[in-house]
Amino acid sequence: MSEQGRVLVVDPEPMVRELVRRRLGEEGLATVAAASGREALAEAGRGEVDVILLSASLPDGDGLEVLARLRAMPSLEGVSIALMATQRDAESLGRGLAQGADDYLRKPIDRVELAARVHALLRLRRHLAELRRKSERLEELNAALERLATHDALTGVANRGSLESRLDAEVERWWRYRHPLSVVMLDVDHFKKVNDTYGHGAGDAVLRGVAATLTAVVRKVDFVARYGGEEFVVVAPSTDAAGALMLAERVRAAVAASSVEVVKLDGEHATVRVTVSLGVVSATASPEATPLRAGDLLARADEALYRAKQGGRDRVEVAP
């Protein structure tokens, strides 16, 4: 038995519909019939056909008009369509192929040619479906590769390369439009002690927890990235010094209030709580502001972070 498929036969002549039904039945193919364009559209709309054999001449309109409407139906994407026409309608075949038909059959229909062309159309449908699957898979792989290139594998937030690109763009936007811009840099306090006490797996869990807390606390317009090790950065567009300080305090409090369940080196479970120290820097929106680089903001934020560490940790310091 040949490959299975379901064929919609659209023709006003009962004899043609019956001939196609019998011949394709011999090939193990199911058929459904329609005598008009209206019936064809209704049947095709159910989305249960693989091939459509469409007469160029129909009692309720031009077959090419029906062809155009069939091709516009999302549920028929990838369905193969062949026009059927007599010698008298030969001009319709050329126009039909130009308008989206995949093949054609001349009337009176030859039984051998009918089976051969329908099987070819079914193969075309399968090949197109396979191409679509491969294309979708390729898009998924490309998206995954892009994410790997731009995001930190451990925490899922943006990586340092993405941070640098984003901050460069935000600094350029700040200079052009003089909108305020702030950067918050934070570091997990006593992170080495977490690794030494509970193991590096627990340390990884803590970093994932901090990243999740950060993502939940910041605004949608803010940009969160892992800067390296246990350091994270938040880029806050259109945020002045006062707003950045509030953001940093909100982050500090949220991390201090959260906890992470970890598995210790001995296999026992434990609850770990950490705090973070934060440094804040803001670029003034004043017309008198002088140009700066992204690296300048990061360096100043890092200096403020250092002062927060020196000042006792679990605190926020603002760069002058």
Q: Catalytic residue among 170, 230, 261, 268, which?
A: 230
**279 and 231 in one domain?**
yes
Q: Would the pTM count as exceeding 0.85?
A: no
Between CA 52 and CA 62, with CA 57 as vertex, the angle to 5 degrees is 90
Residue 34 DSSP SS3: strand
Domain end residue (candidates: 91, 114, 141): 141
207/191 Cα distance (integer angstroms) = 9
Domain count, the chain: 2
Domain with 165 in it: what CATH number?
3.30.70.270
* 181 and 263 assigned to the same domain: yes
Rg (CA), the chain: 33
Closest by Cα among 274, 272, 275 to 202: 272
The whole-number mean pLDDT for each consecutive block of 10 residues of the chain, a chain of 320 residues, reads: 77 95 94 96 92 94 93 92 87 88 94 95 91 91 89 96 96 90 97 94 96 97 97 97 97 97 88 97 78 92 97 96
Using the 3D structure, point to which of 90, 114, 141 is the last residue of a domain: 141
- Determine the pLDDT at residue 93: 85
The enclosing domain of 80 has a CATH number of 3.40.50.2300
Range of the domain at 218: 160-318
Examine residue 274 and state whether it is found in any structural domain, yes or no: yes
The answer to whether residue 230 is catalytic is yes
The answer to whether the beta carbons of residues 200 and 266 sit under 8 Å apart is no
One domain for residues 71 and 192: no
Same domain for 80 and 218, yes or no, is no
* 231 and 164 both lie in a single domain: yes
Same domain for 117 and 164: no
